[in-house]
Amino acid sequence: MRQKLAAGNWKMNGTKASLAELDALAKAHPDPSVDILICPPATLIDRAAQGVQGTGVGIGAQDCHAETSGAHTGDLSATMLADAGATHVILGHSERREDHAEHNKDIRAKARSAMDAGLVTIICVGESLEQREAANTLDIIGGQLSGSIPDQSTGENLVVAYEPIWAIGTGKVPTLDEIGEVHDFIRSRLEHRFGEGVGRSVRLLYGGSVKPGNAAEIFAVSNVDGALVGGASLKAADFSGIIDALEAV
Ligand code: PGA
């Protein structure tokens, strides 16, 4: 049985005042039956991790550098993020792939470094609207999976998030059949590469306009083990509704 995961990605949102949302979230779920994770901006990781200590909420980062230390102005290494209290890191989000020209090989190098630092890596894959309309979705996802996921991956250190780019922040969501097709495909590719045991133990999240109102139907799709949530993770009340739906699966 894969432990379900509700992960929130705050992106470039949040200041000290936002930590009140974390308190509210922890209070609303004192004994969660699913894993709960919030990935705030790096400036808040240390304080957030201290604030959620002893609760069911974990703290993650949104990116890391592939090197452990060195002359990389403005960057943060996985070791530093772990030192600040992060247990997870999102890698290869489409906004990083687009805004920072990150390619699969960069993401793979970052993931290796993150895993070596003991972080669980949430590797994001997903197609653009043009790619979906050209019926290239599975080819694109297959290439992203083989290019971005390092060989040392296991069910403990890897989570894969399927995030169709056109569904992120748009209110548009693929049909449940479309989500199921991609998640089944990701599962079969992982089983093929890593063997059935490991392939079946990696958690697969869906991300892209998940809200309290559509979460339950998405969580009922095969091979969906949780969600990576952007906008609806900023307010504890919204994210709570998604957590409730995941706990009810
Ligand atoms: P959204 O973002 O929930 O705001 O669509 C999801 C994501 O980018 O992880």
Look at residue 1 in the predicted model and tell me its pLDDT. 83
Look at residue 150 in the predicted model and tell me its pLDDT. 98
At 55, the pLDDT band (50, 70, 90 cuts) reads very high
Q: Is 131 in the pocket of ligand 1 (CB under 6 A)?
A: no
Q: Indicate if the pLDDT at residue 179 is higher than 90.
A: yes
Question: To test the ligand 1 pocket, which listed residue (168, 179, 238) has its Cβ within 8 A of the most ligand atoms?
Answer: 168
Q: Tell how far the Cα of 94 is from the centroid of ligand 1, in angstroms.
A: 10
Residue with tokens 């909420």: 57
Task: Indicate the average pLDDT of the chain.
Answer: 98
Residue 205: CB atoms within 10 Å: 23
Q: Is 210 in the pocket of ligand 1 (CB under 6 A)?
A: yes
Name the residue ranges covered by the structural domains of the chain: 5-247
How far is Cα 114 from Cα 108, in angstroms, rounded to an integer? 10
> DSSP labels for 147-201?
HHS-TT--TTTEEEEE--GGGTTTS----HHHHHHHHHHHHHHHHHHH-HHHHHH
Domain 5-247 has CATH 3.40.50.970: no
pLDDT tens digits for range 87-141: 999 999 999 999 999 999 999 999 999 999 999 999 999 999 999 999 999 999 9
pLDDT tens digits for range 191-245: 999 999 999 999 999 999 999 999 999 999 999 999 999 999 999 999 999 999 9
- Give the total residue count for the chain: 249
Of 93, 95, 102, 127, which residue is the catalytic one?
Answer: 93
Task: Give whole-number Cα distances, 22 to 117, 124, 245, in Å.
Answer: 25, 24, 19
Q: Is 169 in the pocket of ligand 1 (CB under 6 A)?
A: yes
